[in-house]
Amino acid sequence: MTSHNRNLVLKGGWDKVVNEMAMELDVFVGNTTIMDEEVYQLWLDGYTVNDAVKVRMEGGVLEECEASADVLLSDTMDQYRTFQMCERLLHSPAKLANQLLFQIPPHRQAVLIERYYTFDDAFVREVLGKKLSKGTKKDLDDISAKTAVTLKSCRRQFDNFKRVFKVVEELKGPLVENIRQHFLLSDKLARDYAAIVFFANNRFETGKRKLQYITFQDFAFCAGQLINNWTVGAVDNMVEDMDVDLDKEFLQELKELKVLITDKDLLDQHKSLVCTALRGKTKAFNEMEANFKNLSRGLVNIAAKLTNTKDVRDFFIDLVEKFIEPCRSDRWTAADMRLYLTHYTNSAHILDTFKHQVVWDRYMGVVKSCIFKMYHD
Amino acid sequence: MPGKLKAKIVAGRHLPVMDRASDLTDAFVEVKFGNTTFKTDVCPKSLNPQWNSEWFKFEVDDEDLQDEPLQITVLDHDTYSANDAIGKVYIDIDPLLCSEAASVISGWFPIYDTIHGIRGEINVLVKVELFNDLNRFRQSSCGVKFFCTTSIPRCYRVAMVHGFVEELVVNEDPEYQWIDRIRTPRASNEARQRLISLMSGELQRKIGLKVLEMGGNAVVGYLQCFDLEGESGLVVRAIGTACTLDKLSSGSAPNTTTHVHPNTAPASNACNSPSKDGKEPVFGEDVLSFSGPPTPFRALPTSSSSPPPFSPSKPCSRQSSSSDTDLSLTPKTGMGSGGSAGKEAGPLKTLLRQQTQTALEQREFPFFTLTSFPLGFLVHVGGVVSARSVKLLDRIHNPDEPETRDAWWEEIRQEIKSHAKALGCHAVVGYSESTSICEEVCILSASGTASILNPRYMREGCLDIGNTDHRFEEPSPPSCGFCHIPYDELNMPFPAQLTYCHHCRRQKVPDVLFTTIDMPSEAAVSGKGCLIQARLCRLKKKAQGEVNATVISNLLPFMEYELHTQLMNKLKLRNMNALFGLQIQISVGENMLLGLASATGVYLTALPAPGGIQIAGKTPIDLSNEHHILTIQKRINDTIAKNRELYQINPPELTEEVVGSPIPEPRQRSRLFRSHSESSDELSELDLSHGKKDAFVLEIDDTDAVEDIHSLLTDAPPPSGFYSCNTEIMPGIYNWTSAVQMFTSVRVFRLSNVNLTNQGLNKIFTDLCENLLKSFYFKLRSMIPCCLCHLNFTVAVPEDELIQVAVTAVAMTFDKDQTQERTADKPVTKGCSETEEQLQFPLELFADSSSTNTQTSSKISGVPESTGVSPRASSLDRCSPLPEGRSRSLRSNRSFGGGSVTVVKMTPLSFLPGTRIIKYLGIINMFFIRETTSLREEGGVSGFLHSFIAEVFAMVRAHVAALGGNAVVSYSMKECMLMENPHKNQAQCLINVSGDAVICVLETDQEPMSSTTSIGQTCTSGAT
């Protein structure tokens, strides 16, 4: 559907050119496929041929090479055609390496793929955690208007998400590695895609106003933490969807942590251990002491509720509401946060009657690093 | 039963979805050779089927082996209805028939469908077992090697050049058979492709037989063409040069005579050849050269003798003055065999003449399709000879028989031969033939360079070149010898201005030299060369039959003349005095004729300096007009001066002046004087009294002339960092680096204005060509400093109001610093090393060619992930427009899982810079048809043709890779015929390409170049 529409866009431009120049046909084909990275980026960004020509002209490429506007137009058309012909291959990048139609040096293939799958942070932030369905696709117009990313580019990015999602859905083995191998992406980009897939699969809420300040990279980091520690794959690495679904057993076990807030003694003991450790080390000590029970209840309750899918979706919003916001209103610094959470986690080990050390560490390890990442303006 | 062909179908990949329901395909394969067909099992529900079939064996005659292609059809099995064809692969097995070429064909081939293009790939293994029945070989011509390359192939040594071979076969065009009305377009296209493949095979076999008859073992400069005559048939014809080639082995280093490289020291050349006779050079009043008719209109034959066939006009004969109207089938009196010898000046020449004469006399046509030659082969060059004739295709008596066409070509060749004789030459080199067809009219053209050759390569039993070296000692150094006139000064075939050779001062040279060959590597030049084009459109009335043919015949001489004048003016404007690689193409359409002449201009130091161009007005000069003339004159003088600087032309006179000539003889002083006056040209103060003498006078007597002068000045020089030429290499550039980018570009222009004038049309045509060049410079800007070599333009008038220009060329980078050390280290420049290599390079690599082959092929197909050969890698990185760190990290991060595609370089040249060809694997000659009924959906005609050309490249590369090769040299696109009907949403295109598949290795390496290292460079980037 999308590519069809793109064809129409290009053809419109083409007809216009024909009228202008009376050039019925104009092609240039190199034995090694010639691709200009600047034009490629313009194409990816969804510029029409004519707009791309304008941008290039403003870039001063003409003066540099004593060329005329006609030359630039002809070149841009050629390149757009080439990219369009390559697009089919970019959908399954492994094919690019062993197809015969275009002779492209390997390092250049890598660039083509990497760029094709690169997305705008503004765009991804809008669809992160949403179901990658037709319904969402219909909203792309609004997203395009909101993010100033062209609709064409939005469609490409959305289709990329969807394509990666579909492919890895059916694969066994580690998510990041699967993405990297199937789409030949760099480690960094593969991790980002893993985050997108993970968020889409678990439908984490990211769109609420309170979460707006969190960047995609923050979320991607959190996703990495969750994937590495809370999924099935963290314990068993040969199951389907191992990195996409959270470990159900673990989520069940999290209920046990409730004892930390339901058992009065345990709660007090925990508080005094933490306070002893913190005293004199931070200016926010008074607020910490005052808020300890509230904050602890917040974190433990989040853990205990994670068996419900609905509450999983609200994981990040809960973290913000139950923990980050109270701390922020008490003007904790990032260092305070670090200090507090470290002692909060470690002190639980010293509690004699608390038996769920392993689950606690698995939980707090992730929560701690997520909060560290999310605790900024 | 002299041969067994074995084929094995291994696997397929990327197949198209043929079953919409399952999104899969049930593929099987039919393998057909001759009338035998085998089938593989069906591989159900897979887009990447693994058949791993048994060996299908065909026991066949070697005659069939030569003619027939192996035909592989991939189909989708359908239980209930007919099986659907996915596509086909035709494999020419000819390379397997020659022991020195490939031994196995193995690799992935694109599956091609004439309607859908490439649809997946198939892995095939093909072998041939020939039974060693040598007598049988003589019946067919297995084992004769074919080369498209128009020079002696590297890694061979020529033992003997036998001469011209030609053949022509005719068949009914399937497109015009009655059955075509009821069959599908696909069936019709496939019938055509198959037929042409068969005919090519037959043609090659027949030519091979002729070669064997002559005692040769190879055809060099093999040029095959198709004439789609329409109703009257489909002609496949070929010409070539039969040779006996010896594979070079380390034992034979034939020619070790060192020769002074002319380019290194123009000054020393001057010293080498002290002038012994004090004769003052004669400057004629008229500056017209041998190749230009001085008063052409009078001399040119224009009458068309009916009845058809129309062959009256051979107006284009370069030696126009003596070319009369009737068929010059009989040599002219006085020019007859041996007759001219007596008139020659020196006894040496006579001796030479007689010797060669006998060697050549036996030949019907002493023609050579070669364009560059072993050192010493070419003795003198006379000039360009050409002939054209207009024929009516609907008057062929027996369209299915080749006789009529044979007679036509025979006629033309006779004419060429007699023109050459008139120039005092016994041979024609750089010979080629072409046609242009529009409806029932066909223009046949042939051209070449009349010359005198050293007979030692043509006599029997002269295998050892070294021995004969001194027997025909050249009277002149090789750097200028070829420029010396071959004809008798007192009995010149046309008026020309002769001077003493500026090198040796002993022989006469013309003031300008036009040739169709590459510049001899030993020639002494000053500065760089450049592409020079003359472009011309002539409207004509639409007409039919004889009337049409007469009109065309009458127009031809005018076009030839104007093209010639343009070339001459542009040459002088660039301050040069010789053209190489001249090709004049005249294309016929319903309502116009297009003429395009391309050549590479150079300044040969042996020839006199070109005079300027002087503008003259009408005799009664009114004042305003005079002012106008002065302005134009100034512009011209400025341009000349600028060009001299641009092309770095510093003729040796100037050097002499600086160095101080050791013997300032009177004559030299006079020449010094001349150069003084020339330098005054630069200051645009033209010494008119002097200018009268050797300046080229252009008269402005009407508006046409003004237009002409303007068009003369509109040709923009290439932007800095770029050079261009249409010959193999650029005179003046020696230190090529290894980056190459071959490309094909096609443009079609629609003439919208109905009331076009000749002038308007000329402007459009000129702009079309100029804009193409500008586009190339822009696209290839990241390769600077770079030279576009072998720029081959072909023009056509596919329909009323359409002008099509197709260009194939290669961009090559070179080192900007032409450092002294480099030339000192390696005095053999690229151009020169051709000869050196082919003559004396010791090939220690080959103990056993077959074992090497298996070794190399396995090397090539491997995945050279980590082959970062350091010298290459650096050049790759340098060229990579990416920021270095990034590209490296990307590369190291990733393994391109089984990126098993061999990189195949392609070039229209006979070599790849920085590499050595170690093996020729056979000729590539492919013909494809592509048709679409959904033109709009494919992105219009541009989209359609773009993908088709890319597909053709892909198929050529795949075939080369399957032969075990990694490059195609002497690649050319002979035909690109596009027909479109946008209203019906349809288009059809035919493309014919050819070249030589080779294995090459880096000059420093023993191994075939690894694929990761071999591309790179060529991608432009805006980031640069």
Q: For chain B, say whether A75 makes contact (Cβ under 8 Å).
A: yes
| Substitution target from B894, B912, B977 for chain A, most A beta carbons within 10 A | B894
Q: Which helix (H) or strand (E) holds B37?
A: strand B36-39
Cβ pair B131, B13 in contact under 8 A: no
Q: Locate all alpha helices (DSSP H) within B288-346, ordered by sequence.
A: 296-299
Residue of chain A whose Cα is closest to the Cα of B967: A31
Return the structure tokens found at B445: 């053209």
Question: Average pLDDT in the A141-151 region?
Answer: 92
Residue B908 to chain A, least CA–CA distance (Å): 12
Among A28, A85, A110, the residue with its CB nearest the CB of B745 is A28
Residue keyed to tokens 């009657």: A353
CA distances from B514 to B432, B521, B582, B929 (A): 15, 16, 7, 37
Q: Dump the DSSP string for B731-773.
A: TT---EEEEEEEEEEEEEEE---SS--HHHHHHHHHHHHHHHH
For residue range A71-100, list pLDDT tens digits in order: 999 999 999 999 999 999 999 998 888 899
Cβ pair B969, B995 in contact under 8 A: yes
Pairing assessment for the beta strands B508-510 and B84-92 based on DSSP bridges: unpaired
- The total of other beta-carbon atoms located within 10 Å of residue A19's CB is 10
Q: Alpha-carbon distance A13 to A10, whole Å?
A: 5
Q: pTM to 2 decimals? A: 0.81
**Per-residue pLDDT at B597:** 95
Question: Average pLDDT in the B112-128 region?
Answer: 94
Q: Alpha-carbon distance B884 to B751, whole Å?
A: 47
Residue B868 above 60 pLDDT?
Answer: no
Query: What is chain A's mean pLDDT, rounded?
Result: 86
- Helix, strand, or coil (residue B539): strand
Q: Alpha-carbon distance B825 to B306, whole Å?
A: 64
Interface of A with B in 175-194 (CB under 8 A): 181, 184, 186-187
Interface of B with A in 99-138 (CB under 8 A): 108, 110, 118, 121
Residue of chain A whose Cα is closest to the Cα of B1022: A38
Strand order across the beta sheet in which B233-247 lies: B145-146, B218-230, B233-247, B156-171
For residue range B537-586, list pLDDT tens digits in order: 999 888 888 899 999 999 999 999 999 988 988 998 888 999 999 999 99
Residue of chain B whose Cα is closest to the Cα of A98: B899
For residue range A334-373, list pLDDT tens digits in order: 888 888 999 999 888 888 888 888 889 899 999 999 999 9
**Per-residue pLDDT at B620:** 56
Amino acid identity, residue B600?
T
Residue A104 to chain B, least CA–CA distance (Å): 8
- For Cα atoms B414, B416, B418, give the angle at the middle one, nearest 5 degrees: 70
Cβ pair B107, B997 in contact under 8 A: no
In A, which residues are within 8 Å of B897 by CB distance? 94, 97, 181, 184
Q: Is the dihedral of CA B791, B796, B801, B802 positive or negative?
A: negative
Note whether B901 contacts A77, CB cutoff 8 Å: no
**Per-residue pLDDT at B676:** 28
Q: Residues of chain B with pLDDT > 70: what percent?
A: 67
Determine whether A279 is exposed, middle or buried from the number of CB atoms within 10 Å of its CB (0-12, 13-18, 19+).
exposed
For residue range B625-641, list pLDDT tens digits in order: 777 778 888 888 888 88
Note whether A25 contacts B899, CB cutoff 8 Å: no
- For Cα atoms B983, B988, B990, give the angle at the middle one, nearest 5 degrees: 155
Return the structure tokens found at A38: 């600047």
For residue range B170-227, list pLDDT tens digits in order: 998 888 877 777 788 899 999 999 999 999 999 998 999 899 888 889 999 999 999 9
CA B859 to chain centre: 32
Q: How sure is the predictor about B703, in pLDDT bands with cuts at 50, 70 and 90? A: low
In A, which residues are within 8 Å of B901 by CB distance? 97-100, 103
Q: Alpha-carbon distance B347 to B359, whole Å?
A: 18
Note whether A27 contacts B945, CB cutoff 8 Å: yes
**Per-residue pLDDT at B502:** 80
Q: How sure is the predictor about A219, in pLDDT bands with cuts at 50, 70 and 90? A: very high
Q: Tell me chain B's radius of gyration from C-alpha atoms.
A: 29
Note whether A105 contacts B1019, CB cutoff 8 Å: yes
Interface of B with A in 709-738 (CB under 8 A): 719
Residue keyed to tokens 């039993």: B461
Query: What is chain B's mean pLDDT, rounded?
Result: 74
| Substitution target from B23, B746, B1018 for chain A, most A beta carbons within 10 A | B1018
| Substitution target from B714, B775, B791 for chain A, most A beta carbons within 10 A | B775
Q: Which helix (H) or strand (E) holds B246?
A: strand B233-247
DSSP, res B439: T
Q: Alpha-carbon distance B572 to B696, whole Å?
A: 8
Q: How sure is the predictor about B665, in pLDDT bands with cuts at 50, 70 and 90? A: very low
Note whether B752 contacts A22, CB cutoff 8 Å: yes
Question: Average pLDDT in the B324-341 region?
Answer: 31
Question: Average pLDDT in the A214-224 region?
Answer: 93
Q: Which helix (H) or strand (E) holds B537?
A: strand B525-539
Note whether A105 contacts B942, CB cutoff 8 Å: no
For residue range B916-954, list pLDDT tens digits in order: 899 999 999 999 999 999 999 888 999 999 999 999 999
Cβ pair A334, A372 in contact under 8 A: yes
Q: Alpha-carbon distance B313 to B303, whole Å?
A: 7
| Complex prediction ipTM | 0.86
**Per-residue pLDDT at B54:** 93
Question: Average pLDDT in the B47-51 region?
Answer: 93
Q: For chain B, say whether A154 makes contact (Cβ under 8 Å).
A: no
Beta bridge pairs of residue B388: B445
Between residues A12 and B7, which one has the greater pLDDT? B7
Residue A23 to chain B, least CA–CA distance (Å): 5
Return the structure tokens found at B731: 């005179």
Residue B396 above 90 pLDDT?
Answer: no
Note whether A29 contacts B750, CB cutoff 8 Å: no
Residue B110 above 50 pLDDT?
Answer: yes
